Amino acid sequence: MHDLKLLRERPDALAAGMARRGKGDVHAPALARAAALEAERRRLIVAADERKAARNAVTAEVAALKKARQDAEAPMARSRALGEEIAALEAELAALEAALGDLLLGLPNLVVDEVPAGDETANAVVKSWGTPRPADEAHPHWVIAETLGLLDLPRGAKVAGSGFVAFRGVGARLVRGLMQFMLDLHTREHGYEEVWVPFVVNRQAMIGTGQLPKFEDDMYAVPGEGLFLAPTAEVPVTNLHRDELIDAGDLPRALCAYTPCFRREAGAAGKDTRGLLRLHQFDKVELVRYETPETARAALEALTRHAETVLERLELPYRRVLLAAGDTGFASAMTWDLEVWSPGTNKWLEVSSCSWYTDFQARRMNLRYRPAPGEKPRFVHTLNGSGLAFPRTIAALLEHHRQPDGRVRVPDALRSYLGADHLG
């Protein structure tokens, strides 16, 4: 959510930020309406304050008249009339603030200057690691998994529908091994505190991290409960300290968690439906950081390196991509995408988005810290990234490490978790 001061004093900066995302025309009416509502909000506050001051003066007059045993009926009537005006103004103000809040919730974050303008064609590959396996040497992961008995797509669909999968035997152990490997790496080597969080979240939590109201159609709701299945651990983990004032000495704070993730993908029908490429339920280890504004940019680099380390330990070629403004997520101010090479589909597949949200999420969550005793509280900066999402990581692992005999070599870093050096 944006600072009302920015809307009031620098509406041009908000308009320019929407234009950099390629959404200037889309959001222009909302910005104009929000600016008008903010001006009216301030007028109502001034009007209410003036009447409150007048009522205070009348109250003093009434007290003086009563003390002098004089008739106070006329000023008491004025006081009642002023009270009614104040109540009406405050009701109007509450309705206006609700409307203004709804408008602001629909406006995306401003990207930082480092992010290039433009749509996805302006995305920039800034780093590559490893040697991609040629596509003509590879097999699709769903063929490898079915041959080795790791994945049961028909029965997953039978019990839950398209977009849900069942892992079996060594395949199930692979999922569990990846979870333990990633959590151990991030907690033991990268300094994250592991948390185990609810897999359902309330509406306020979804609004806090920016999934609602914009992406409600993509979420799985729990009817009658006011809850949603978590679309990512970002939501419950980032919201753990919502409405709190954190001591500056407790920053930075780094948290990691495993969760299953649930997304309807309402706008993605027909895209990448083979195998593990696009699922309605998948597993992920998430990295979340609370930082000060001064440390946040460096923290984005550190968090991204932590995610890259997973790919390097799994010996999977990847590239880092800086997303352009028009391809940057709604709540993000800057995002590095990590893409792993899938020789079986001849594509680069996103396995992690590492994002810096500036104070956008923190404003929605009222998550603040006090820089020093006696100083005014400030909003923290939040960051998160997948470290990593499992399905496409598994797809790339199977396709890259398949051997001529049909078995899949297990990378050294993962062998102790699976108790084997090959799958199959």
Residue closest to 291 by CA, chosen among 384, 388, 210: 384
- Cα 226 off chain centre by: 19
SS3 content of the chain, % helix, strand, coil (to 5): 45, 20, 30
Residues 6+ away with beta carbon under 8 Å from 391: 165, 276, 277, 279, 282, 283
Active-site residue, from 41, 263, 289, 364 = 263
In angstroms, rounded to a whole number, what is the distance separating the alpha carbons of residues 58 and 26? 49
Active-site residue, from 51, 133, 278, 402 = 278
In angstroms, rounded to a whole number, what is the distance separating the alpha carbons of residues 233 and 81? 53
Give strand ranges (E) for 191-333. 193-194, 200-202, 221-222, 227-229, 245-247, 253-262, 281-291, 318-322
Annotated catalytic residue 342: no
Active-site residue, from 297, 350, 370, 415 = 350
Angle (CA) 216 218 219, round 5°: 70
Active-site residue, from 332, 342, 352, 353 = 353
Annotated catalytic residue 263: yes
Annotated catalytic residue 128: no
Annotated catalytic residue 80: no
Annotated catalytic residue 370: no
In angstroms, rounded to a whole number, what is the distance separating the alpha carbons of residues 95 and 41? 10
**Active site residues per annotation:** 263, 278, 350, 353, 392
